[in-house]
Amino acid sequence: MSISKDIKIYVAGHRGMVGSAIVRQLNTKGFDNLVTRTHEELDLTNQQAVKDFFQEERPDQVYLAAAKVGGIHANNTYPADFIYQNLMIESNVIHQAFQFGVRKLLFLGSSCIYPKIVPQPMSEEALLTGKLEPTNEPYAIAKIAGIKLCESYNRQYGQSHGIDYRSVMPTNLYGPGDNYHPENSHVIPALIRRFHEAWKKSSPEVVIWGTGTPMREFLYVDDMAAASVFVMELDKRLYDQHTDQMQSHINVGFGSDITIRELAETVGKVIGYQGKIIFDMSKPDGTHKKLMNSYRMEAMGWKASTNLIDGLKISYQDYLRKIS
């Protein structure tokens, strides 16, 4: 059954990288009755403010893409902020959505919910089978709580109130709206910045930490947004067929991974950098492989469509716009 395009949809975190891509995707699909609030207008950690917002707006659907996010350094330095703010945002939004009659909600999690040591590719069943990576454990615990909030409301109120709250776990994302901060950015925006600066200065070489052999998976953010809307719209019978009441989250990955060396070479090519790429083998590599098992998504009929080169070209244009 197709969903009416007039429904009121709240995108929480619409100015973030993922939230803004979800807004683009919804607009492309003809949903234009969107409601948004900036962080300044509505602090989602404030229970009363979230309640007032839902009472006033009464949306039909919610995409929960607001979160306190950050890299290893931020997670290590501010663990209390990461667990507290994320638990509060999720609890407030999910509970008030329920209180004010929202039947469909999509929660955005992260691949860090899976244990540090886990069979690759990481399947949904790996959740809660082992110890988490200590550096972002507080953040991951909050994200696991988000999944469990959705599942618990479905179990308790699914039948009686017709609610259907789902969650998706994205792999590493990149694309427009990314954070290019020199010390606090993910691998793709960090490489874009470094190769662009090396190209501008005609530096003979770019040095990359580690051996270049670790394998990572990357998904273009607009594909993630398409996947989010796909899961939100998915027929309930099909969703139920591929998930379990107490294991309802769905991985969203690209489907394959590449080495850091291949990634660096591809970024260099997109930027037009002609110098050498040197790997500083004395620096640590991190986990050798981190790949999502995206079998559930594929079995339900969705697959990523943007290849790395095309995604990187758009990302580079976004970076150039940001620094101009």
- Residues with catalytic roles: 139
Selection from 253, 110, 227 nearest residue 169 by Cα: 110
Nearest approach, Cβ of 278 to ligand NAP (angstroms)? 26
Nearest approach, Cβ of 85 to ligand NAP (angstroms)? 6
Classify each residue of 168-193 as buried b or exposed e, where b means 16 or more C-beta atoms within 10 Å of its C-beta.
Answer: bbbbbbbbbbbebeeeebbbbbbbbb
Toward ligand NAP, which CB reaches closer, 85 or 315? 85
Give me the helices (H) in 100-206, please.
Answer: 137-161, 187-201
Residue pair 157/163 in contact (Cβ under 8 Å)? The answer is: yes
Residues of span 38-67 touching ligand NAP by CB under 6 A: 39, 42-45, 65-67
Residues of span 159-178 touching ligand NAP by CB under 6 A: 170, 172-173
Instruction: Estimate to the nearest angstrom the gap between the alpha carbon of 274 and the chain centroid.
Output: 32
Nearest approach, Cβ of 203 to ligand NAP (angstroms)? 27
69 counts as binding ligand NAP under rule CB under 6 A = yes
Toward ligand NAP, which CB reaches closer, 34 or 44? 44
149 counts as binding ligand NAP under rule CB under 6 A = no
Residue nearest to ligand NAP (CB): 16
Q: What is the dihedral of CA 264, 267, 273, 275, to 10 degrees?
A: 0
85 counts as binding ligand NAP under rule CB under 6 A = yes
Toward ligand NAP, which CB reaches closer, 85 or 306? 85
**Burial level of 48, CB count in 10 A (0-12/13-18/19+)?**
exposed
145 counts as binding ligand NAP under rule CB under 6 A = no
Q: Which amino acid is located at 24 in the chain?
A: R
Binding site for ligand NAP (CB under 6 A): 13, 15-19, 39, 42-45, 65-69, 85, 89, 108, 110, 170, 172-173, 186
